[in-house]
Structure 1
Amino acid sequence: MNQTPDSFKKILILQTAFIGDVILTTPLLRVCAEKFPTAQIHFITIPASRNTVETLPYIYKLWIYDKRGKDAGLANLIRFSRKLKKEKFDLALIPHRSLRSALLVYFARISRRIGFDTSSGSFLFSDKVKYSGEGHEINRNLKLFEPLNIEINEKQFPEIHPDETDRKIISDWLQQNGLGTLKPLVCMAPGSIWFTKRWIPEYWATLSERLTQQGYSVVFVGSSVDHPLIQNIIEMINSPVYNASGLFTVRQSAELIRRSILLISNDSAPTHIGVSVKTPVLTIFGSTVPTFGFYPCGENDRVAEIENLPCRPCTDHGREKCPLKHFKCMKDLYPDHVFEIAEEMIHEHH
């Protein structure tokens, strides 16, 4: 049955995974608002992602589910679900493939619950969609519309909406550091929670030197967790570079990246932040591969990787150490190669 624009009055979308996953859910929110313009779109995410999505115009109400804190455990999950039940949602879209997310919408008694067949809680859905191993994660998420007979043919991109305060904070910081006027900015994001997703620190230092010698201002971005790693990299660099890790929110970091001519990142959330603000992104892949569907999907984006390495990929997400102890996927990906790609990207688009 085809759904009309007023088929649903209240729609709930859940994504309580990592910030990168939340960013890749923003096209689902936007398309949902376009297809059902009279519906209230509610969104559930975790505390760490509040800043990322709270300025999106498509969200009628933002729900924060603190699954590691005050909402942890089954009793609190049921309590949270009771609040949802009072809203009388008539549709839930669940891109997050976890039992917890499935239980939330099931206990909320939402009649139409659409999720993926690979979810731990798929038996609790009213409609199951095949989670494809092909294509980009954005397109996989949009397949949740299939049971509603809605096809999405246009290419969709993630979004982050910095506000006026975010823009002023970044303008002030750039001015205080004498950045962004004479030399073009290049942002670098060397962090990841997974060791095997992190390019070699010495290589980041070498790449930074090469770029500063070519007349670019290099700014390192990341969370406060990344600060020690970045500080370690900076201590190896003789040229002046800047450490913005831990200084800014996700939206403010997005604004900083937006003002850059290039972002170089590991396979981590900053990749998707860069795509969201339409800055060309060069993503470095180690133990993971672009075909997992989390590659930078902007028109001018590129990847750097060691292709045809028999041990790649060795994991879906990342590892604490190389299982074969040689770490060739990163060690053999030399700074000269990444620099060449970066230079090509800069010259093509600037």
Structure 2
Amino acid sequence: MALEGLKRILIVQTAFLGDVILATPLIRACKGLWPGATVDFLCIPQTAPLLENHPLLGQVIPYDKRGKERGLLPLVRLIRSLRARRYGLAIVPHPSLRSAVLVSAAGIPLRVGSNRSAGKWLFNRLVHYEKGRHEVERNLKLLRPFGWEARGLRPELFPSRSDCRRVDELLAAVGHSPFVALAPGSVWPTKRWPTRSFSQLAARLEAELGLRCVLVGGQEDKELGEEIASSSRGSVLNLAGKLTPLQSAEVIRRARVLVTNDTAPLHMASATGTPVVAIFGPTVPEFGFGPYRVPHRIAQIPLACRPCSTHGGKRCPIGTFACMENLHPELVFDLTAQLLEELDGVERKGKTEQFLDRGSDA
């Protein structure tokens, strides 16, 4: 069922960086269904830079729901602003009540969300939330009422030329040598693999495979990066805190492999096509937030207490942190080496593309 004459579409995702990355396929899918429509995206200010330079996106609308726009009056002002834009369709992958209230109060005639939403009664098109599917596919499923069928879309990010020049400058210390990117941070402390484990991994990658490591992350990850870099005697390049989100994505694009916690850089790798070793502790990839359509390995250990959270937490519920403490660097190194060996074999044959839809878990 297609909508004739649809002029403006609004996508609402006001969660974290990774959630916005995984919602980007909706932009291209909407333009595929309605080529003449303008697609806008509402998100929080911290994630808005991810959407810069997107060639198919109209306007990015930042909503500082946890900061200066917190409370009822700013919400009312935003509702009035959205109402004045006369959107014909709202697509809301974010499951919060506030997101549902926002698009309903703005008078958007067609509102699509999942039956997992806290405000599901405010939508007039509901789509069943499938726990076993990847989040990218769950998001795209929101367009199924309008005739969309999955067509192999994956997340997209668009670093600018100035972003690339900045990355050139920062990577000058590495030169043209291949490197492994490491992402040691996470907004949730329980999802962080210990810094000493990252340090040991970096040492082995250089000593045994001749690969230097480059740390990526936001300002909040700067101290983690400094701790890892200081133990490496200069062999690890710490770029955490020196990069914008799109610059981080560009560094990841240039890496041979990314080793990362279950956090935003994992999804940047899916957007840039970079092979990834993803470390899972309190969460599991079966929740739908693992690597997507890139060569990968999953680093995790079987424990009766896993998973203990859908998002991670500030502390281990049973006080052991065994899911990360007992995930030894030897395992992550072996998985990284296996993935690199597989990729080297593919590149020799010139057939890297045949692995885009393959993944391997351990």
Instruction: Provide the C-alpha distance between the structure 1 equivalents of 2:317 and 2:299, rounded to a whole number of angstroms.
Output: 21
Q: Which residue identity does 1:158 align to in structure 2?
A: P
CA distance in 1, matches of 2:297, 2:316: 25
> 1:110-138 deviations in whole A, cap 9, x for unaligned?
01001111111111111111111111000
1:166 aligns with 2:160: no
Residues 26 and 140 in structure 2, CA contact (< 8 A), matched pair in contact too = yes
Instruction: Decide which of 299, 306, 309 is 1:304's aligned counterpart.
Output: 299
Aligned counterpart for 1:129 among listed residues 122, 127, 130: 127
User: Pick from 196, 201, 204: which aligns with 2:195?
Assistant: 201
Q: 2 CA distance for matches of 1:227 and 1:7?
A: 48
Q: 1:335 is aligned with what amino acid?
A: P
Residue type at the aligned position of 1:94: V
Q: Answer yes or no: is 1:188 the counterpart of 2:185.
A: no
1:1-350 alignment runs, 5 A limit: 2-3=1-2, 6-152=4-150, 154-175=151-172, 177=173, 179-181=174-176, 183-213=177-207, 214-238=209-233, 240-307=235-302, 309-350=303-344
TM-superposed deviation, 1:239: 5.5
- Specify the code of the residue in structure 1 equivalent to 2:182: M
Residue matched to 2:355: none
Instruction: Give 2:315's aligned amino acid.
Output: K
CA distance in 2, matches of 1:124, 1:76: 20
Q: 1:71, 1:80 within 8 Å by CA — same for their partners in 2?
A: no
Query: 1: distance between equivalents of 2:18 and 2:199?
Result: 25
CA contact (8 A) 1:212 1:239 kept: no
TM-score of the pair, normalised by structure 1: 0.95
RMSD: 1.3
Q: What amino acid is the match of 2:294?
A: E
Letter in 1 for 2:219: S
SS state at 1:47 partner: coil
Q: Give the secondary-structure state (helix, strand or coil) at the position aligned to 1:11.
A: strand
> Unpaired segments of 5 or more residues in structure 2?
345-362
Structure 1 unaligned segments of length 5 or more: list them. Answer: none
Distance 2:128 2:73 in 1: 31
Can you list the C-alpha shifts for 1:243-268, whole angstroms capped at 9, x where unaligned? 10010101111111111101000000
Amino acid at match of 1:126: N
What is the alpha-carbon distance in structure 2 between the residues aligned to residue 197 and residue 70 of structure 1? 29
Shift of 1:275: 1.3
Shift of 1:151: 2.0
Q: CA deviation at 1:210?
A: 0.2
**How far apart in 2 are the matches of 1:105 and 1:298?**
32
- 1:124-179 CA-partner distances (Å, limit 9, x unpaired): 11111111111100000111112223222x2221111011101111112222x2x1
For the residue of structure 1 that corresponds to 2:249, the secondary structure is helix
For this pair of structures, how many residues does the alignment match? 343
Asked if the contact 1:102/1:124 (under 8 Å) is kept, the reply is yes
Q: Would you say the 8 A contact 2:185–2:224 is kept in 1? A: yes
SS of equivalent to 2:73: helix
Give the Cα separation in 1 of the matches to 2:272 and 2:162: 17
| Contact 2:270–2:294 (CA under 8 A) maintained in structure 1 | no
Cα distance in 1 between the residues matched to 2:68 and 2:187: 24
Task: Note the alpha carbon deviations across 1:76-111, whole angstroms, 9 max, x for none.
Answer: 111111111111111110001111111111111001
| 1: CA distance, partners of 2:194 / 2:294 | 27
Deviations 1:270-294 (A, max 9, x none): 1001111111111000010010000
Measured after TM superposition, the shift of residue 345 of structure 1 is 1.1
Aligned-partner Cα distance in 2 for 1:89–1:202: 50
| 1:13 and 1:94 in contact (8 A); partners too | yes
Identity of aligned residues (%): 42
> What amino acid sits opposite 1:243 in the alignment?
N
Task: Give the deviation of 1:337 after TM superposition.
Answer: 0.8
Cα deviation for residue 316 of structure 1 reads 0.9
Q: Kindly indicate whether the alpha-carbon contact (under 8 Å) linking 1:280 and 1:298 is maintained by their aligned counterparts in 2.
A: no
